[in-house]
Amino acid sequence: MPLGAVLGSLFDNPRNMGLVMLPLVGLVAISGVFYPITSMPGWLQGVAQIFPIYWLGLGMRSAFLPDALSAVELHHAWRHLETFGVLTVWAVLGLLVAPVILRRMARRESGSAVAARRDRMLATVGR
């Protein structure tokens, strides 16, 4: 389950979704997608490797870039087995967390609440 969905389930008001984007943009910034992760401090490299964005980027780079460019990666290798392992762990965690999050979201959203919100929006558009 995407991190954004998990974080988004914590907020009642859709206007607060900007608060969800801040940590996700931060994760993308440190993930090594836009610039080499080797240029970051060691502790930040460790934080970046916890999240799947780094591993997705590493997998994509290993698929599309020549082997010689693995020299700029951490450990100077593409680390295919580690990439597969970390992404598998994140997928399993997502599958375990998804039912809990979806149940929580469904409990908060009753059919009458959705209908009332729709009616309010239609009333403002119809003016």
User: What's the pLDDT at 127?
Assistant: 61
- Alpha-carbon distance of 55 to 48, in angstroms, equals 9
The pLDDT of residue 1 is above 60: no
For tokens 């997928």, name the residue: 91
Task: Give every CB contact of residue 20 below 8 A, 6+ residues apart in sequence.
Answer: 4, 7, 8, 11
Q: How confident is the model at residue 120 (pLDDT cuts 50, 70, 90)?
A: confident
Q: What percent of the chain has pLDDT over 90?
A: 43
Alpha-carbon 74 to chain mean position: 22
Q: Would you list the domain boundaries of the chain?
A: 3-125
- Alpha-carbon distance of 63 to 65, in angstroms, equals 6
Q: Give the pLDDT confidence of 58-80 residue by residue, as tens digits.
A: 999 999 999 999 988 989 999 99
Alpha-carbon 93 to chain mean position: 13
User: What's the pLDDT at 6?
Assistant: 78
- Alpha-carbon distance of 108 to 106, in angstroms, equals 5
> Are 30 and 13 contacting, i.e. CB atoms less than 8 angstroms apart?
no
